[in-house]
Structure 1
Amino acid sequence: MREILLPLVEMGAWALPALWLPVAVWTLAALTTEAALRLRPRTHPVVALGVRRAMLWALPVGVLAALALPGLLPAEAAERVAAFTPTPLALPTLTVGGAPEAAGPAATSPVPLAPMLAGLALVAAALVAIVRLGVLARSLWRLRHLAGETTPDAGVQAQADHLARLSGVHRAVRAVTTATPTVPYTYGWRRPVVVVPAELTSEPARLRLVLAHEIAHVARGDFASGVAERAAVALFSWHPLMGALAGRIDLDRERATDAAVLASRPEERRDYADLLLSFSRLSSPSLALGAARGSRSLTSRITTMQSLPLSPARLRRLGRAAQALALTLFLGAVALAGAVAVGPPAQARTLVSPEAATAPASRAVVVPAAPVVAPAPLEEAPADAAPLAPEARVIRGNVTDATTGAPLVGANVVVVDTQIGAATDLDGDFMLNGVDPGDVQIRVTFVGYVPLTVVPQADEELRIGLVPMDRDVRMRQMREAAERRADEARDIDPNSPQAPAVFEVVEAPPALVGGLEALQRSLVYPPGAKADGVEGKVFVQFVINETGGVQDAQALRCPDERLCEAALTAVRAARFTPGRQRGQAVKVRFVLPVDFKLPDSDE
């Protein structure tokens, strides 16, 4: 089952910041804008149409911005984890004082619920969008076959040509009649077609008003914009607000067209309203621009007509102002929706799954009997090294398991397309020096976890949660990483100038004389610490020199000085066979976790 759910978790971990967060921000913005328009019912339809169109397009464009902004730099280069982030070899954890734990099957980490649900929602949304796009394509196909059901009429065509010239339409508009009882409608963009009922040919005044309405649609390019809006609604049809917004846009489009018709014919408002009422019970083909659709929309349109129409000049000025307002709202909504995927300009941003976000701030972390790694000490830069550019910045952060909140020790953190990188320490912390002040991508990888790429903000401390992979995938990655490190080790000549003073990976690792059992016997639980009930895990880092002796031993994590001194005493007394690189004895760094545990009271 985990093999089935893992792709959903990975999709959901991607979709939460890239899709669902921008959608949530857009929803709040759209609801606020719609509420403002509803509170001002006398807003001119030209303004309402521009605002609602801007909000409708802000969702797909905002999601595209959210997807594009974090990926402006190529992510493939982040897969190169260079040798500048090696991690020391590690010994298994030694337990002192407590009963040894029975070996058992490896526990399987739980599947993160929020990313899994987000992945399921993404799949469902994609299926719904595919179906709705298919319905849209079928409607367009049906419109292409309407020509066979219509009849050209020279008189209707002459009136349509005259009105098109008056409206500034330079495209050829084809005007035809149909014997089918229908609402007058328009379809087509490059070669628009106006279809009117044949019965209107005997009523010149009504025909002129109908043609004026349809030509106004052509002049405004309403068919092309309407189809594009329907495509956007189909992509996001799973969002109920998109359908409601599209319905209001249809009504605003007709109201704006009514205003354009009556701007030059204010004295014909009553005749125009009667004409619309006469078509209220008829229908028009899907996607076509019908002159009158439904009694509910007609009520709103006729109510709008009761106010004095604007002159053509004032209507044009209002249209330009509405376009400026719509553009401002559109850019603001897109910027807001796109910015949330990259993150707010806060001092610290948490990039984790919701499970990790709700984890308590302090928890007991059980370190399994598996390789535990720690970063190598930072070496001083050579004296002749070039100084950092004054504008270079430092990026700090923390990497944890998104499901447990435990720090990930030794995770690789690199700046994409650079040689800047680091490994997380025992607390999961990292620091990147000399980072370019511009926009950069940070790639975080850890064996057994889904990689994550983020774009840090200025002066931001990153908090990153990685989602665990399936156990089989983790094991395969660990084997591949071990093979890759062995290959790297074979390529290093200990006599070359590039060889490190202390190796992290060697061809023949050091071996503990007498095995771990000898070191276990030399570890003594300090009596004072035992009497005081002190427990804890000590991480000892040390270097095995060319003769097999221990040097530079230090406690990386020290819960109690007595425990640390006991661990250091045992490690310093240990003897190893030296590690060898190309047959030559070299210094090798190791880490030894020592877990001091008191037996349970009932044992």
Structure 2
Amino acid sequence: MASNELLQGLVEATLAGSAAILLVLVLRRPLRRAFGARAAYALWLLAPLAILATLLPAATVDVGRTQVAQALVLPPVFAAPAAPAQGGLDGSSLLLGLWLFGAAASAAWLWRTQIAFRRSLGPLLPHGDALRAQATNAGLPATLGLWHPQVVLPADFETRFDAVQQALVLAHERRHIARRDAWANAAAALLRCLFWFDPLFHLAAARMRHDQELACDADVLAAHPRQRRHYGDALLNAQLALQTAPLGCHFGFGHPLKERIAMLASSVSTTRRRAGSGVLLCMLLGGGYAAWAAQPAVPVAVPADGIAADIVLRVDEEAPRALRIVSEADKPFSLKTDAGGKHFAIAGTVSRIEHQGQPALALKMDIDEDGKRIAAPSLVVLSGKPAAVQLGSEIQAKDGSKAFKGLRLDVTLTDASASSQTLSVKPAPTKSDTLQPGQVLDESRALHPPRYPADALKEGKTGVTVLVVAIDAQGGVIDVKVERSSGDARLDVAAQEAAEKWRFNPAMKQGQPVAGKVRVPVEFAMDEPADAQVGERPARIAATMPPAYPAAAKKQGISGNVVLLVDVDARGKPTRVTIQQSSPAGVFDAAALDAVRQWRFEPALKQGQPVAGRVRVPLGFGPQGGAGNGSDFYSQPTADARGS
């Protein structure tokens, strides 16, 4: 176990033990008055129970279930190189070393005290079933020994106590042996050594031994109820144990004797003692559970090659729920939950991929609500970096306040296998690497649309391939690379082949066109079967303008996609524009709608005549990464391949 984990466990045990001791110190006297001395003595069990409770496994983070929507892919944040390991001991190791030294010194001191007391007694001679010391020691009579405890009497035992008192003293010490009180004293000494730095444990040991003697007095008086006066005289004749053995039980322990003498005049009925036992049991169980429950919840352990998904689920304005999924790469997982009166089920997989030259994680999910599929989002994020998924939007209440209506997931994926790896810093892109704001020329895209591979079309494969296209100052294509795969190599190749034939509007700098790079998403999607008759075609885009990138999304570096459905009349004018799909919901919707409403379209043709039709328009929004500061963004229509 690491030194910081040991130190954390020590702190938790100290807090739990100290809290239990304070509680016992407050309750011991009221409990003794109500239920007798034995109940007060037994209450000291609460301290070790609280400490032991912290050693039990803490509660793990619950795994629940949920609902989702489209995916938000956050831009990667590159990690700095790991700092080189520093020589020497860290702070936690030094503190643990100090603690061990203090514990060893405390144990040595207590052992020395025990040995010194034993040596002060001199030779011990048999005296019936007890032992007699050769000295009139102030700590006698007493019970000494753990494995074979024996009563040790002072040399003047017969002269100091009369016959009745002698019998009562021996009954007292034998009761210590029967109850194994020496072991309780040994446990108290062990706790004093382990928690030598906490004065409460030293105070508790003295108070516990006083309650121990009171409980033993109560047992003896219960067996000899008519001998209270003689027992009081025996207490007065006993010399107070100014020097005691840490593991011994001394008849004269405790100063002053007033409390022990006063107890002789009181008695507790059998009914009250039984009630006290029930109250004590509840207090011990409740205190132990409270100490265990106070430990911070421990997340489900992640195997060395596993992947953890920490999810915070919010439904409408309800309180969030923290969930955790632990899975292996490419192995299916599932979880379920009830929220807002509905039942949600999520099934999916997490895969290790490469994203923009960095190791990343891809999370694919299928979301069911009351048994019906409502979404199939995908996330691509770096290990340990947060992402968000939401389905719904903000609504305005009657009082003017805004509230979210729907479901939101904040997801953080952590790859345990990558925790020990060091990621190198990716240098800021040079001028030639800067992704420029630019668009595919409409005429070029119309002449060379992406061709849907026949076999992929037959299999119903769909997806979005994100390309990075290097262009020269004239808008010609120099190189095309796949930045993010659609998940099907055939679609990626088709997208590359089409992009190599396109021409672009290059970016301008100081009024002059310059070379650069452009990010182009290419979507492959299924359409309704097209009519192959001559003179018929669907409506299509004629002229576009780029949407404005929302300032808030730009500031936060958020990227996403919006898919619009545009109703076009026979004149090519958009009459109705609606959102079919949005990720993240509500972030880019307004910008997309404002832009597309100003586009020009070619109407659909039927029997050679223009008629009303519908166009599906996918738009991509994302950071360009220019100048290495994330200040340049693109927002442009996605090149579209249709299959039917």
Q: TM-score, normalised by structure 1?
A: 0.50
- Radius of gyration: which is bigger? 2
Higher relative contact order (CA 8 A, sep 6+): 1
Q: TM-score, normalised by structure 2?
A: 0.47
